Amino acid sequence: MTMAAGGFRFGRIILEPTVVFFRSKLSFAFVNIKPVLPGHVLVSPVRVVKRFCDLTEEEVADLFTSAQKVARVLEKAYDATSLSIAIQDGPDAGQTIEHVHVHLLPRKKGDFERNDDVYKALEEHDKQEAGTLSNLRTNEEMSKEASFLADLF
């Protein structure tokens, strides 16, 4: 895994290594600084790539295989019955970090009044995360969750 000075690179952001809980040859998964639902995590390619279509075939295969592995663990770890899996590819699709990433959200019956409200919450989450520093989790909180998840692999 290629690391930036002091952590993992996610677009312009340097992540602390302690928030990363899964690594494959070409991808990594990390906990979310402001999860929409408990267990909301991100899976991203190691190489910083802005758009999905700019990934190599090998990166696409590794990203989706990694997302599938992480999804299996999340569903069990958070006692979920389903998952929402989303990629916001480009700014007009709501992408705020210029690095391809897959959102994995463990879902349960009734977690949103209307099922598709999860996408509105995701859009609001990204706007808030990009524009403000309020209600963000501490590195300690994120590291604790990452450690819990890492132990499940």
Q: Which residues are annotated binding-site positions?
A: 32, 88, 103
The one catalytic residue in 40, 99, 101, 125 is 101
The conformational region for residue 62 under phi > 0 = left, psi -120 to 50 = alpha, else beta, is alpha
- Contact (CB, 8 A) for 66 and 27: yes
Q: Which residues are annotated binding-site positions for substrate?
A: 32, 88, 103
DSSP 8-state assignment for residue 4: B
Residue labelled with tokens 């995701």: 122
Alpha helices, H only, the chain: 57-77, 117-131, 139-150
Respond yes or no: is residue 101 known to be catalytic: yes
Which residues are known to be catalytic?
101
